[in-house]
Structure 1
């Protein structure tokens, strides 16, 4: 349901502009039935600048172009989609008008298309701007020709209306600035007008680094190092994000993208093409706190870089670090879609879902893969009947089923993991749960596999997919296998079972919600690989893992026997099988070394 700015943007990004119909125009939403006629109507550029600046002054919002409204009382309600032809809007021209006519240029403005065919609309997303910043435009003339360079007007958003800040309020703001600066009134007014709308053009005569006096010289030196790139002029004052200094730059030519100069302490200066910078900001937009850069961090130079470097508009990937999400890579697909994924790393941190779906169970040994998928807006997801049926058809042929079947075949028995039933946990529109049980001749459960996925009940939670292999009872399994020798698992078998469980939880189960590749992250995805003994012995003490698993390939342990070991991998859920196997082996060695098997090495597994 669309009821706020975040959900409206999510609907537009999902190409569902029809979800906005029925909404009333409000503080954060404005609808236009037709495109701004920037070439044909001299008032159109003034109107566009006024609308965008008003949202920048009012906490952010979105303008949707191509949706007509109707009046209900004194309110405008989004009524129906008129749609826009792809050539009805020159997006580069829209960007230029915003940069040229608003001072300072609002940061992070995003222009995109939503929907297709006759229901294609354009949206202009104006994110919240830094506090204590006033966005001004030249006073409108409605006549052909250049804008007035000796005037200042302040558009503001008030409810569902946009109006001009009264002269008395502008005068009060100017007076407050004069009192704070201690400058004579005439000089203060002249200086403010020169800053707001300068005859020198869209950049307002600004210097690189202006606004950050402590970093200005450093930023100018970085700009000079990159002068070969023809970066253009400042689009506004430089600004700081934590200890990082940033400067928006623009070209006067419509076809040229702008740049963002980025200075991170301890790294070479980097200049990033505006389209790539916008993709960086978009990657972290759904992070808690809605500070994208604080989440994804900043571009990391390649190892070969020994000075300043550039990330052009034609780059297909860029590494990022320095944010709360840790090291990651932003990559562009063949369809032009940017997506952030974490660079692999290991830890022993246990997630909140590590022991979900274990209540009332006590298998002798459980091998588990838990994949945590912190997708943005998971409340909009649903498990359809058709996708549930597809999952039921695929489970008997899944990597999990294959690993369980192979486990018995290696012991000379044909115990297929082919019969999957619903349960042991709930199956609803927001959860799936399936099990496959191999029983002894007397009916006692011997070996069990389980696949579970649950959508969260709150909007800020994580989708969890889990795949288990459980040896319920070694003696019952021996009877099912009809063998007299032991059922201890080799460590190669443990790896095969964990690999099958991980692949099923990461690749097969998430498909029940649709296309996972189209969903954005609100935090880094993780996978937990776990080995646990859960069936107490007669003395009510849990046995050590090495009673059920041959841990000899890990070497001797300095910490004695353990009944549980686990490792968490921060990585993208989807990958090739060879890459997944290699990463799993590295993770298991990291786990083993942290649990006292200090001689464990990948080459020995």
Structure 2
């Protein structure tokens, strides 16, 4: 179970992240209800007053409406956000009923929405700790529909995860102690107690709200200085106390009349930033589907972009911002981008590396093994993939598209440049699985003696993570050579390798995903990656001659090992992009790969 105290729960709700409460148990200071109070029913009004008064008598707490619970080992665990329709709740009515039915009205009680903008929406009642010398009462339950009695009272109290009435014997004891302590006759003492209770029940005077930096004494000065630098952006009064998330100190502020509020974010060693609440909600929503912890720990915090005029001074992210750079999270540097439809999406900043995914060796066990494999494999860690399937209609669309795809064209051009017309026009299912969650198609060019010469293949798996892959295979160099004019060579040039990798990547990133979903609609649960790989394989009895024999690598300059069997690079960035951009990224990735594998003089100009 997550560990959150009352202050952390308050902070999560105030920054509109109700899903952060899931898996918490109900307890002394937390209660959850799946649906709003039906306030046309007097019993529901009594229940509302009872719940609020119980928290007021018990040291404070949060009542959140719009989250279902499940019973687990005797505890009620907050399970799912059921969401509340805004038309079903009138916050002003709830506030008024609390003031009217709880005596005295608990000071500082807030009734607010917490809405992440992505479908998770709850109402919460925040009852702060009250004067310990004050007892909160409500009208005694009527037992049936009708007007509540005003001449009798009951005292609700919070015990563990339940709300109960203070027993009559305890009420008698409390009143007796109060009479005895007063030193007055019983009638006079009761009159004085009543007078004081009525005085307490009067509307509370206006009091100053939270102060700048309140709640974080050790960083209060830092937050105040940041506020002084940024208050001209329109930051109003603090809407709550400051709180910490990882290295960041944050505080919410009200906006101007009719304007959204702000979040002031201060990370040590960085310039402070004021982020409009709608953008802040989008930042949190971007990382909420990760298993890596709190959303901000996943996607990171706002940082000045490369286009920021003064990257060391304070800056503002306004409500109409189209993008915001983020860094410091477990996903690495990235950017939150808003589409023309107003939908925010996190995209990773480009990173080149060499860490293989656990899917890198998928679909490589065919026998006999090809002599050269040119591969692009894309991992799409989308959230909410459980319902994804490859429908018969989408499969038919893919089958019609493959003979005319970039991948088929690349295989055809490979032979055409050597004087032979060997089109990859026929695509057969297999040799891997074809199910509602898997795709496998292959186009093979055969030699006259039945040997496999060249192949192109596409594969896709739609399970917990969507993986798409495209291979171009030189199955047998001698079989391919037999199909070519007599003096045509079979060694690939760097230009050809680049064209093959480009075709494989475009097929894996553009053609295959369309068979299952529109990528633009999906949210990430981790950064997506593309793995580009060149591997010389071969059979056990005929060891691989190495990449340097199958590919002309001399243009890269001197290398350490031309008999190296494999080179690969991993690209972390959104796989979907324009063709010209993909070509530029591919060149950068190939140079990065070549240098890592010993070709230290490799340059983009050589490709």
Structure 2: which 5+ runs fail to align? 1-30, 69-81, 98-105, 140-154, 169-199
Pick one of 396, 411, 415 that aligns with 2:422.
415
Give CA deviations for 1:95-133 in whole Å, capped at 9, x if unaligned: 9x9xxx99697999325486xxxxxxx94388xx9xxx9
Q: Is the 8 A contact 2:556 2:599 kept in 1?
A: yes
1:44–1:488 distance in 2 versus 1, CA, 3 Å:
farther
| Equivalent residue number for residue 274 of structure 1 | 277
Give the whole-Å Cα distance in 1 for the aligned partners of 2:549 and 2:297.
46
Q: Is the 8 A contact 2:532 2:568 kept in 1?
A: yes
| Equivalent residue number for residue 436 of structure 2 | 429
Pick one of 284, 304, 309 that aligns with 1:304.
309
Shift of 1:385: 1.5
Give the whole-Å Cα distance in 1 for the aligned partners of 2:371 and 2:335.
40
- Name the SS of the counterpart of 1:226 in structure 2: helix
Shift of 1:33: 9.8
Shift of 1:433: 0.8
Give the whole-Å Cα distance in 1 for the aligned partners of 2:223 and 2:279.
20
| Equivalent residue number for residue 533 of structure 1 | 536
Measured on the aligned residues, the alpha-carbon RMSD in Å equals 4.3
Shift of 1:58: 7.2
Q: Is the 8 A contact 2:375 2:469 kept in 1?
A: yes
Give the whole-Å Cα distance in 1 for the aligned partners of 2:47 and 2:116.
17
| Equivalent residue number for residue 354 of structure 2 | 348
Q: Is the 8 A contact 1:49 1:137 kept in 2?
A: no
Give CA deviations for 1:507-565 in whole Å, capped at 9, x if unaligned: 11112222222111110000000000010485x53221010011122111134531100
Q: Is the 8 A contact 1:104 1:237 kept in 2?
A: no
Does 2:114 match 1:109? yes
TM-score by length of 1: 0.72
Give the whole-Å Cα distance in 2 for the aligned partners of 1:32 and 1:267.
43
| Equivalent residue number for residue 480 of structure 2 | 477
1:413–1:560 distance in 2 versus 1, CA, 3 Å:
closer
Does 2:236 match 1:240? no
1:487–1:322 distance in 2 versus 1, CA, 3 Å:
same
Shift of 1:207: 1.3
Shift of 1:443: 2.1
- Name the SS of the counterpart of 1:591 in structure 2: helix
Shift of 1:153: 9.7
Does 2:331 match 1:328? no
Does 2:285 match 1:285? no
Give CA deviations for 1:397-449 in whole Å, capped at 9, x if unaligned: 22211211221221222211121111011111111111111111222110011
| Equivalent residue number for residue 31 of structure 1 | 35
Residue correspondence of structure 1 range 159-238 to structure 2 within 5 A: 199-200=205-206, 205-238=209-242
Shift of 1:596: 0.5
Give the whole-Å Cα distance in 1 for the aligned partners of 2:344 and 2:110.
24
Give the whole-Å Cα distance in 2 for the aligned partners of 1:454 and 1:375.
13
Give the whole-Å Cα distance in 2 for the aligned partners of 1:425 and 1:483.
35
| Equivalent residue number for residue 579 of structure 1 | 581
Q: Is the 8 A contact 2:292 2:330 kept in 1?
A: no
Shift of 1:205: 2.2
1:469–1:560 distance in 2 versus 1, CA, 3 Å:
closer
Q: Is the 8 A contact 1:57 1:157 kept in 2?
A: no
Q: Which of the pair has more CA radius of gyration?
A: 2
- Name segments (4+ residues, structure 1) moved above 6 Å: 41-50, 58-61, 86-95, 101-108, 136-142, 152-157, 164-168
- Name the SS of the counterpart of 1:299 in structure 2: strand
Structure 1: which 5+ runs fail to align? 1-26, 65-80, 115-121, 143-151, 169-193
Q: Is the 8 A contact 2:114 2:121 kept in 1?
A: no
TM-score by length of 2: 0.72
Q: Is the 8 A contact 1:440 1:476 kept in 2?
A: yes
**What is the number of residues matched between the two proteins?**
497
Pick one of 107, 110, 124 that aligns with 2:122.
124
